[in-house]
Amino acid sequence: MADPLDDLNAAPAAQAQAQLADLYPHAPWVAEQALRSRPFRSVADLRQRLRQAVDDASLDTRLALLRAQPAFGPLPGADAADAERLAQLTAQYAARFGFGFIAADRGPRGTPLDGASLLEDLSRRLDNPPDAEQEEALRQLHRMAELRLRARFGEPALGNDIWDWHEALSAYSDPGYAEKGQLTVTYLTDAHRACAARLSQWMHDCGFDEVGIDAVGNVVGRYRADRPGAPVLMTGSHYDTVRNAGKYDGRLGIFVPMACVRALHRQGRRLSFDIEVIAFAEEEGQRYRATFLGSGALIGGFNPGWLEQKDADGVTMREAMAHAGLDIDGIAALRRDPAAYLGFVEVHIEQGPVLYELGLPLGVVTSINGCVRHQVQILGLASHAGTTPMDRRRDAAVAAAELALYVERRAASDGDSVGTVGMFEVPSGSINVVPGECRFSLDLRAPSDAQRDALVDDVLAELAAICQRRGLRYAIEETMRAAAAPSDPRWQQRWERAVDALGVPVHRMPSGAGHDAMKLHEIMPQAMLFVRGQNSGISHNPRESTTSDDIELAAQAMLGLLDALSNDTTT
Ligand code: HGY
Ligand code: MN
Ligand code: MN
């Protein structure tokens, strides 16, 4: 059967134009401009050329493109009230932005969106600043063109399956969250263990030769090489989540390699190395303060002191592990011998807006920011809110708030550091009591360890100064320290070549988020691939999203990397 892309590349200009004319309604110039770049290397290349044609156009031309689009509607399944609300909101929208509401009517999987989602999206986008909304409307046009191209060039089959796996796994959530339709899977809860069982089953179904759950709850799948005693490529990410999380953080880095192994298995192919896919049991440090526990155990970094840490219900990690049937004595043996490994690669959703705003599906990570976290307790004096004069208070919460403002100023002053007070609590506080105690967290990050440590030193010095000035005491515990992890140049280049081979522009970028790769970095070379997040890349939030088209490209990139590695006799 002829390849439709070859046909498009070979077609006379008028015929090629006719084939693409409906991609951007009432704007044939977009396809015309893109066709000047023929031959397209891939459908991804075609999509980028179409996007580039719009990006290269003048502001007036882009506005005219938006204004030329047909009116939005009708809402699927809308009743009279919805139709009325749609009419009102679209009128407000047009008055505010000067063009009609534009939205892809199919979601990240390519399936139809319901009326409620579309109305919610319209209502949310009404709050956008005009220039940001113009960019968003153009992104919607590109997404509609991408969906139309599926009709000609086929569905993203791998991407759709991977997307569906995320949906299925998100059915498991911890009590207190599941009932609210929220996704929270913390270390060794029943939901967490159900995820491990499901992942094990899927790995078996994908054709892994060995699948097991190790002594800390990692799910480990091994797909053997074409020869005995071959080196191992490790890949994977975490399956635990933050509270009220998105579905893709961590999990995308498990499912993409699983789908690659499934593809190899279906083709009856073996590579020159074993592939070890690991679903790390704990990275987020939500139930217990320990973080990167799953990947840390593989580098000999499991701290036995963690076993006595207690969760919010007073359950120790030791008790949770025993309840889960894990063999604590087997933890030390999990340490991997680096000599047996080629390296570690991780696919992860970007968790930020860079790729979304650049209009790129993939990014190659150059370095992962270093991070230090603390838990802090400030102690003052609880006293009557009505009778304690303002100059006689020892208010622990105000001191913590003063430090939080300092963290914001000080981190911003570096330009590329970040500082967050993510947890902030007045234990047993009352509306009419001056807070005598305040507990809060510190999360400080920077692209290099030296910059990170300078930030930490300054913040801790300010904490001491504030407490000194206000007559307060404080206690502080460092709960995590992860070194900045620059990508190994050879492995970064492997990702770059794999992305380039897809006809996707290679974009290099740092990671502000921490990842399991920074743990494996301590014993073997590593590099990561980022996948664009939808909704401006929001993450650690239920609106986290990615399309099956972008997931497809990530899977194809990984397959390309695996193939190239298998043929690379220098490894
Ligand atoms: O916090 C982080 O950077 C990661 O998501 N655990
Ligand atoms: Mn995370
Ligand atoms: Mn993550």
Q: What is the CATH architecture assignment of 4-77+91-153?
A: Orthogonal Bundle (1.10)
Q: Separation of 539 CA from ligand 1 center, angstroms?
A: 10
Instruction: Please give the model's pTM, rounded to 2 decimal places.
Output: 0.92
Strand (E) or helix (H) holding 237: strand 232-238
Residues within a 6 A CB radius of ligand 1: 283-284, 513-514
Q: Separation of 59 CA from ligand 3 center, angstroms?
A: 37
- Indicate which atom in ligand 1 lies nearest the CA of residue 249: 5
Q: Name the 3-class secondary structure at 325.
A: coil
- Indicate which atom in ligand 1 lies nearest the CA of residue 514: 3
Torsion of CA 533, 534, 537, 538, to 10 degrees: -120
Per the DSSP assignment, residues forming a β-bridge with 526 are 344
Nearest CA among 543, 556, 509, 503 for reference residue 528: 509
Q: Separation of 146 CA from ligand 2 center, angstroms?
A: 29
Mutating to test ligand 1, I would choose from 242, 247, 280, 541 the residue with most ligand atoms within 8 A of its C-beta, which is: 242
Question: For the domain 370-482, what is the CATH code?
Answer: 3.30.70.360
Q: Separation of 541 CA from ligand 2 center, angstroms?
A: 10
Closest-lying ligand to the alpha carbon of 243? 2
Ligand 1, atom 6, residue with closest C-alpha:
284
In the chain, where are the structural domains located?
4-77+91-153, 159-361+513-570, 370-482
Q: Separation of 516 CA from ligand 1 center, angstroms?
A: 9
Q: Separation of 456 CA from ligand 1 center, angstroms?
A: 18
Task: Report DSSP state, residue 436.
Answer: S
Closest-lying ligand to the alpha carbon of 541? 2
Q: Separation of 284 CA from ligand 2 center, angstroms?
A: 6
The domain 159-361+513-570 belongs to what CATH superfamily? Zn peptidases (3.40.630.10)
Mutating to test ligand 1, I would choose from 284, 369, 420 the residue with most ligand atoms within 8 A of its C-beta, which is: 284
**Token code pair at residue 335:** 């340490």
Torsion of CA 318, 322, 324, 328, to 10 degrees: 70
Per the DSSP assignment, residues forming a β-bridge with 236 are 278
- Determine the Cα–Cα distance for residues 466 and 470; give it in Å rounded to an integer: 6
- Indicate which atom in ligand 1 lies nearest the CA of residue 238: 6
Each residue's pLDDT, cut to its tens digit, for the chain (571 residues) gives 789 999 999 999 999 999 999 999 999 999 999 999 999 999 999 999 999 999 999 999 999 999 999 999 888 888 999 999 999 999 999 999 999 999 999 999 999 999 999 999 999 999 999 999 999 999 999 999 999 999 999 999 999 999 999 999 999 999 999 999 999 999 999 999 999 999 999 999 999 999 999 999 999 999 999 999 999 999 999 999 999 999 999 999 999 999 999 999 999 999 999 999 999 999 999 999 999 999 999 999 999 999 999 999 999 999 999 999 999 999 999 999 999 999 999 999 999 999 999 999 999 999 999 999 999 999 999 999 999 999 999 999 999 999 999 999 999 999 989 999 999 999 999 999 999 999 999 999 999 999 999 999 999 999 999 999 999 999 999 999 989 999 999 999 999 999 999 999 999 999 999 999 999 999 999 999 999 999 999 999 999 999 999 999 999 999 999 999 999 876 6
